Amino acid sequence: MTREERYESARELYAKIGVDTEKAMETLKELPVSLHCWQGDDVLGFDHEGPLTGGIQTTGDYPGRAKTPEQLMADMEKVMSLVPGKIKLNLHACYAIMEPGQFADRDQLEPKHFAKWVEFAKKHGVGIDFNPTFFSHDKVKDGLTLSSPDEETRRFWINHGKACIRISQYFAEETGVPCVMNIWTGDGFKDIPADRMGPRMRYKDSIEQILSEPYDYNKVKPCVESKVFGIGVEAYTVGSAEFSLSFAAANTDKCMPLMDNGHYHPTEVVSDKIPALLCFFPEIALHITRPIRWDSDHVVLFDDETREMAKEIVRNNAFDRVYMALDYFDASINRISAWTVGFRSWQKALLQALCTPNEMLKNLQDENRMTELMVQQEEAKMYPFGDVWAEYCSRCGVAGDSSWLEEVKTYEAEVLLKR
């Protein structure tokens, strides 16, 4: 059978259970998913020498890491040519591009330091998301930034946050797409603190000060990302789940919560938290990653929890209420492939969720027909989803199977290994 015939037969099968595969593909094509620039260079950026800090870590030394803005952009373009769907660019402040001899520290950053990224985004017709970088910098004092008891340190990082609000507004205005600006710090302690509330009160005040910088909430969408622990920060994290969620709940006119599915205890699932938050917040944001035993930031796969998260967005019709961003970094494999597999996996999860007879299943639940619900949920897994995926990829002009890897291997030989 040709691809077209396979799709036609899948379309008919899905139609019988009330799933419109045409509509599913149309919907998915328009849903932006943020592609994180930091998978390409192991979260190092361009504004400092020195290692990645902040309780996060990349492991592996696969050759070909992007070392310049030009290399990183070329790599991202390669990925964009291999994935279906709509991307948005996700940048960190440490990826500022300075002219030689024009160094500006993080509290002094200006839109002009990101003009080349705007040019890049415009070339591809995509929006930009942004992140202040509260790590990998010598002004991180004793592991603290926005929650530091040292006023000068805290001031520096507040000013960094404010500068990033202005840059986010610039991104939104230049691209015409709202900019999600995520506040995450690794602030915390390795061992049992004597004061848990003090740092949180300072953190609260600092974020309030950052958000007092004028911005249009239709254009700039600040988020607060929580975390449970980091490397070397095992005992206490200032921006814990309760802290961040409460902060967002108290400031729904100014910001929203961001959940990273690597930032919870291993038996907690973000798929269950999405609908809980949607009951209260107009909008929420996600960092999609794959934790293994801890926040290890492995490449996102088409696995159960990834699919379950996508389902919660789709079946609650929350497409314009959930901002989706990938967040992982694997330095042990080809980075273009890591990006591509993760992006494609999330696309698969969304497409499969869109091809699920959600209404029918919901009704079974509401009528307490739990035996049938189990059987039908299992049945849905066996539908010829691969044929719809192949059709979707073909319509997006990319390979539906793993043949894209050949292109990555050629790029590795011709470009990456020559760096």
Clarify whether 92 is annotated catalytic.
no
For ligand RNT, give the closer residue by CB, 327 or 412.
327
Clarify whether 67 is annotated catalytic.
no
Query: Binding residue for ligand RNT (CB under 6 A) from 34, 131, 153, 159?
Result: 131
Which one-letter DSSP state was computed for residue 112? G
C-alpha closest to that of 389 among 355, 415, 363, 341: 355
Q: According to CB under 6 A, which residues from 50 to 69 bind ligand RNT? A: 56
**b/e for 102-118, b at 16 or more Cβ within 10 A?**
eeeebeebebbbbeebb
Q: According to CB under 6 A, which residues from 319 to 378 bind ligand RNT? A: 327
The DSSP string of 325-337 is EE----SSS-HHH
Q: Is 38 in the site for ligand RNT (CB under 6 A)?
A: yes
Given Zn ion, ligand RNT, none, residue 187, with its beta carbon under 5 to 8 Å by kind, binds none
- The H or E element that residue 257 is part of is strand 256-260
Given Zn ion, ligand RNT, none, residue 215, with its beta carbon under 5 to 8 Å by kind, binds none
The CB-of-328 to ligand RNT minimum distance in angstroms stands at 8
The CB-of-65 to ligand RNT minimum distance in angstroms stands at 15
Backbone angles phi, psi at 341, to 5 degrees: -60, -45
Given ligand RNT, Zn ion, none, residue 227, with its beta carbon under 5 to 8 Å by kind, binds ligand RNT
- Token readout for 66 is 């992007």
For ligand RNT, give the closer residue by CB, 134 or 389.
134
Write down the catalytic residue from 287, 312, 339, 348: 287
For Zn ion, give the closer residue by CB, 59 or 108.
59
Distance CA 68, CA 81 (A): 20
Distance CA 242, CA 248 (A): 10
Q: Is 227 in the site for ligand RNT (CB under 6 A)?
A: yes
C-alpha closest to that of 109 among 40, 179, 163, 186: 163
Binding mask 261-300 for ligand RNT (x = CB under 6 A): --------------------------x-------x-----
The CB-of-263 to ligand RNT minimum distance in angstroms stands at 6
Q: Is 117 in the site for ligand RNT (CB under 6 A)?
A: no
Write down the catalytic residue from 327, 330, 387, 412: 327
Distance CA 222, CA 232 (A): 27
Write down the catalytic residue from 41, 47, 129, 295: 295
The CB-of-182 to Zn ion minimum distance in angstroms stands at 7
Query: Binding residue for ligand RNT (CB under 6 A) from 19, 24, 43, 355?
Result: 43
Query: Binding residue for ligand RNT (CB under 6 A) from 14, 95, 184, 264?
Result: 184
Clarify whether 29 is annotated catalytic.
no
Q: What share of the chain is helix, strand, coil (3-state, %, to 5)?
A: 45, 15, 40
For Zn ion, give the closer residue by CB, 223 or 416.
223
The CB-of-293 to ligand RNT minimum distance in angstroms stands at 15
Q: Is 412 in the site for ligand RNT (CB under 6 A)?
A: no
Distance CA 39, CA 295 (A): 15
Clarify whether 263 is annotated catalytic.
yes
Burial (Cβ within 10 Å: 0-12, 13-18, ≥19) of residue 255: buried
The CB-of-298 to Zn ion minimum distance in angstroms stands at 13
Clarify whether 327 is annotated catalytic.
yes
Which single residue is written with the structure tokens 């390409």?
40
C-alpha closest to that of 6 among 406, 385, 403, 313: 385
Helical residues (DSSP H) of 227-334, grouped into ranges: 241-250, 270-278, 304-315
Write down the catalytic residue from 42, 187, 260, 387: 260
Q: Is 144 in the site for ligand RNT (CB under 6 A)?
A: no
Query: Residues with Cβ < 8 Å from 54, sequence gap 6 or more?
Result: 134, 135, 136, 140, 185, 186, 230
Interface with ligand RNT: number of residues (CB under 6 A): 11
Which residues carry out catalysis? 184, 225, 227, 260, 263, 287, 295, 297, 327
Residues forming the site for ligand RNT (CB under 6 A):
38, 43, 56, 131, 184, 225, 227, 260, 287, 295, 327
